[in-house]
Amino acid sequence: MKTIFTVGAVVLATCLLSGCVNEQKVNQLASNVQTLNAKIARLEQDMKALRPQIYAAKSEANRANTRLDAQTILIACAACVCTQNDKKIPGSVSVAGLEAVC
């Protein structure tokens, strides 16, 4: 009976001691978590600050693409007028998904 008690005490002590965590490691991990949370907060602020610039750049790119499409249509219309027996024959042209009748 005394042997069983001793073995039980050793097993219990081993289990309890193996579950102990170094307080310094816990503090270091807590510090790391705080640092990472601060970095996440800064990145979220940076993203929020850049969002209007991104939207403005996209809008400007869309306006530029629209102007380029219009110029391309004008150039295509100028090129699609053919001459046959000294008579101009109108035609139609499809450029960039847009169709123009010349």
Q: pLDDT tens digit string along 62-77?
A: 999 998 888 887 777 6
Task: Name the residue type at position 102.
Answer: C
9 burial via Cβ count (<10 Å: 0-12, 13-18, 19+): exposed
Q: What is the pTM of this model?
A: 0.46
d(CA 9, CA 84): 110
* Angle made by CA atoms 22, 24, 27, in degrees to the nearest 5: 115
Domain ranges of the chain: 28-101
- Kindly state the tokens that stand for 19: 């579950």
Percentage of residues in the chain having pLDDT higher than 70: 53
Q: Is the pLDDT of residue 86 over 70?
A: no
Q: Is the pLDDT of residue 83 over 50?
A: no
